[in-house]
Every structure is written in structure tokens, then in C-alpha cells.
Copies of this chain bind each other. A is one copy, B any other.
Amino acid sequence: MTKADDSFSVSCPTPKNELTMVKLGHGSGGRLTDQLIDQVFLPFFDSEQLLEKEDAATVFLDKDRIAVTTDSYVVSPIIFPGGNIGSLSVHGTVNDLCMRGAKPLYLSAAFILEEGFDRESLETVVRSMQSASKESGVVLIAADTKVVNKGCADKLFITTTGVGLITQSKIPSASRAKAGDAIILSGDIGRHGMAIMAARHELEFETTIESDSAPLNMMCQNLLSIGDSLHSMRDLTRGGLASVLNEIAHSSAVGIEIDESTVPVDPKVRAACEILGLDPLYVACEGRLVAIVEAQRAEEAVSIIQASPYGDGAKIVGKIVSDHPERVVLKSVIGGRRIVDKLSGDQLPRIC
């Protein structure tokens, strides 16, 4: 690894201490989450799929190759502008399958309900899951319901697991980025996280910020047409664009350069971030992806994403470089350069 230039500031060092107790930040998707996984889970579960740390695992059955992914959703509040925990749980799982080039087919859902939760809210959530599943082309085939005493859960948690079919031989992976590749972002960032924050704190902005929560199955399926030139895909969830780029830089042992002026942030989102002192680069999306594509196919890939649902704001925002491997460097609007590191804990807990 090359040494960071002295002018770079490293925002958050890796927590080196031993984990003794679970903190809220261990669920952040940042370095504390890495610590939890590396210290507590991976020593016991060292399957090659888990070690890959991809959005979805892929396995060969007898004749088929499938992708499998699981996520618990604990977002608070459970209903927010632009969606709710139900639609989010479908979109999130569908998108994780898509990031591996799989066609999402089947979904399971496990509900943990708090005693006293009202039927009306539950139906709102379930109805959203129904339409999200329909739009994503997945069928819910297995489900479970548990109820815990009042005060032992926060209204409703949903865990969705998805199974998708992989038909191509080479699949996108965070470890396949190569120097020279273009980095394509499918749209503006930070809507989901700020929609949740605004709803949670009942912040009044002039206009409502809606979550970008959406299924990316069509976009990804269309992108597969560029074949092996599509090296990596990642959806931007916990930890936002900055965390995903760090994961790719790390998995592929490459450097990443991003031009801040090209990263779209809606003015409402930017204003809300400024009020709350947050950096939009770290704020979660739930309907955006980053695609790492061979430079000569990049413009074509941008056009494909722009023509797909939820992709009209797609653009090239940076490139993979051989300098400073495992480092994400941002050229700021005012001309400076800074390292964009993975956060330690949370800017925003429980946003998914």
C-alpha cells in the first residue's frame, strides 16, 4: 500500500481495540461493523462466500448457479416519505442479488412483531412488499412470524432473504475493478438517509425529501448486455457512496479517484446535510448503484443506465487508478484533494 500523501487527512482510523460489547455503531456498515464481523463472526464462519464480503453469495447447486443474500431491516420510523420498511426490505434484497448479475426470483420474509403493533400499519407494510415484489419480479415463497413482548422490539423488524439465478459465467464482483475503469453512479445520492432523518426528527424542510428506495433489477439486467466489461456493481446503502468505493478499492486493491463536482446531490438533500452537519458522501441511498466499467464501454453503459428505470441521472464520477491502492481520493470542488475513508461508526443509525 502506498503511503498517504501528507496533505491527505484520514478521517477515521480503524478501531483496533477488542470488541467487548455491541455498540450502535457496530450496525453502521462502517469500520465498527468490519470489526464485529472480523472479530466475532468470521473466526467461526469462514466459508469462501462470507470471506468474499459481497452483496450476495453465489453457489453452485447440482446444475444451477444461484445467488443468495439476506438482510434484516430495522429502520426507524418504519414508514417514511417514499417508502416503508416493507418496500425497503424487498428493494434492498432484490438489489443485492442484482449486484451479482443474478436474476432475482424468490424471496423469503421473516417478521418480528412487537406485541400491540396495529394491524393498519402492518397492512401498509405488507401491501408495499406486495407491490415492490411485483415490480421486482420476485415471488415470496417462504415466511415466518414471531411476536415478542411489548418493549422487546421496536414495532416491526423484517428479515428478507433472496434467491436469484445466475446464467452468465463471469459475474460482477467488488474484486474485479481494474486501473483505467470508469466509475458510473446511477443518480443523485443521499435521499434515503435524509428522508429517514427528516422523518425521525420531524424536521421541516421547505419540501419533503423522499427516499430513493427502488428496485434496480431492470437496470442491472440491461447492464449485463455489456458482458465482461462490467467489472463491479454495488448498491449504495449503509455508509453511502464513500463506503462502497472504499470496499471496491480494498477488494480490488486499486486506487479510486472521484471528482466531487460530478457527484449529483439534490439541493434539498445538500441543505439538510448542511443543517445536520453530515457529509452526503456517507449518506445511504436505497435505489442507487455504482458500476465499474471498462473505459471504452463506459459511455455505452451510462446510456444503458439512463434508459433504465431509476437511472436517468447516471454519469461518470471518477476512475480506477493504480496509484494509492486501497485509497479513495476526492478532488473537491474547490480544487483540493482529500482521502475519503470509511467511517468508524454511524452518521445515521437504523436507516435500513
Contact = CB atoms under 8 A, between A and B. Distances in A.
Interface of A: 18-28, 33, 36-37, 40-41, 44-45, 47, 49-50, 56-57, 59, 61-64, 66, 68-74, 76, 105-106, 108-119, 122-123, 126-127, 129-130, 133, 139-149, 151-154, 157, 159, 161, 163, 165, 167, 349-350
A41 B143 contact: yes
A61 B60 CA distance: 12
A-B CB proximity, top 3 nearest: A27-B147, A159-B159, A70-B108
Contact of A71 (B37, B69, B110, B149): B110
For chain A, what secondary structure do more than half of its interface residues adopt (helix, strand, loop), or is it mixed?
mixed
A325 to B, nearest CB: 27
A19 B116 CA distance: 11
B119 A22 contact: yes
A165 B62 contact: yes
Contact of A47 (B116, B141, B144): B141
B123 A56 contact: no
Given A74-B148, A126-B41, A62 B59 contact: no
A305 B37 CA distance: 39
Contact of A145 (B36, B108, B110, B139): B36
A22 B167 CA distance: 42
Copies of this protein in the complex: 2
21 contacts: A18-B119, A19-B119, A21-B119, A22-B118, A24-B147, A26-B145, A27-B146, A40-B119, A47-B141, A49-B139, A50-B140, A59-B163, A62-B63, A62-B64, A68-B161, A70-B144, A72-B112, A76-B152, A112-B157, A148-B157, A152-B154
A163 B24 CA distance: 31
A85 to B, nearest CB: 12
Contacts of A133: 45
A346 B349 CA distance: 34
Contacts of A18: 119
Given A45-B130, A118-B21, A119-B20, A144 B71 contact: yes
A112 B115 contact: no
B154 A148 contact: yes
A12 B329 CA distance: 66
Nearest to A120: B20
A152 B167 CA distance: 41
A62 to B, nearest CB: 5
Contacts of A23: 115-116, 147
Identify the interface centre among A24, A27, A36, A147: most chain B CB within 10 Å of its CB: A147
Given A147-B27, A149-B349, A157-B157, A115 B22 contact: yes
Given A63-B62, A130-B44, A144 B72 contact: yes
A68 B70 CA distance: 13
Contacts of A146: 27, 72-74, 350
